[in-house]
Chains A and B, each alone.
Chain A
Amino acid sequence: MTQTGPVRREVAPQAVKWLICFIALCALSCVAFSALSFEADYDESDGLYLVLRIRNTSPLVYFENLSILLPGVPDRLEIPKVETGGIYVERVLVTEKKDRYDADVRYTFCEGDVCLYREEEVLIRPARFPDWLRYLGNGVFFFVLGVLVFWLWPRAKKAFTLAIILAALTGWLGIRQYQPETVRSIASTLCISCIGMEVVPDTFPITADYIDAVLELPITRVEVFHTDWCRSCPVVIEFLEELAMYCGNLEIIVYDAEEESRLAAEKGVYSGNTLVVPSTIVGGKTRITGAERFPERFLKSLREVK
């Protein structure tokens, strides 16, 4: 039987166009920004060296006056030029092995005669797996993706297949930049002022009465857990450090909660699955979370500990 009446044609709906634009923009931005790639490895044959391989993956741009500051290394690494497609290897003498280096990287990148200056923070991580395993992993990933796409292309909607390709590529780029771990660290740390549970002033004033009240109390150890991106932590730390200048009976210790996560777990800074910052532990016993009305609560718990 032949079909009568108007044939309903599937017109590419608006949503598909938006979707393609959305993912294409993401893909475009990765081409523009991920041109400079850093790989790191340790070489222990003659003292402990960090071997840094700097690679320019872009076919268009080259880099000039590249300067890298690694934490724990006194001097900046200066590299005059990284050519298009070039690899530059640098060996740095380090004292201890680290999981991650938050490097401060500055460079000028040029395309033809046009140059732009840029400063960025780059996460450099020494490789955990040998090179061949990583190449094998990448190979398997792209092989599976290729087979899937080859199978899907004639059978499924074109937009669906394209979206799978783009999602896989963006995901691969994200995993290469250790973004899953960033996601985990964002999600596992509860910064109380970030979620809209408190309002924090810029500073807490310290009055003479307050200092007198603190001075009456015995020597107390105060531990503060913070993260470098938390908003209310600096206010709390500033207040405590200023107070410690006047009050000799306070011993203030500041920990980075993300780096010292095991210690944080021992001290009970976690509530459930989340690490609550800022957490102030007074005398190893009571915990003050957040910065809301901090001076009052701090004095109250100091008295309780006594």
Chain B
Amino acid sequence: MNTWIAIILAAVAVYSWKIIGAYVPQRLMEKPVIARIAGLLTVALMAGLIGIQGFTSGGQLHADARIPALVVAGLLTWRKAPFIVMVAAAAVVAWVLRAYLGWA
């Protein structure tokens, strides 16, 4: 599939929820089971992405400088650091470990 087509399809797909919410009867969206799945989906997909982005590389398990970077990111998030500071700090930790300490 072409990347452009994927971008357009994904944008339409994301927008579709906003439209559905604005037009479908309120009762349907507020069923507890639907609301629960929706909330947990967000959590599960993001957690899955942390796993993929943090601990795998090219489809293989892979532990490297990203792990200490993630620990720092977690600590900073817990200490309520701004999002961009936390993300930049993670990059710096990984970069320093690789460039100066020879980590993978």
Is A bound to B?
no
Chain B interface (Cβ < 8 Å from any Cβ of A): none
Interface residues of A, Cβ cutoff 8 Å to B: none
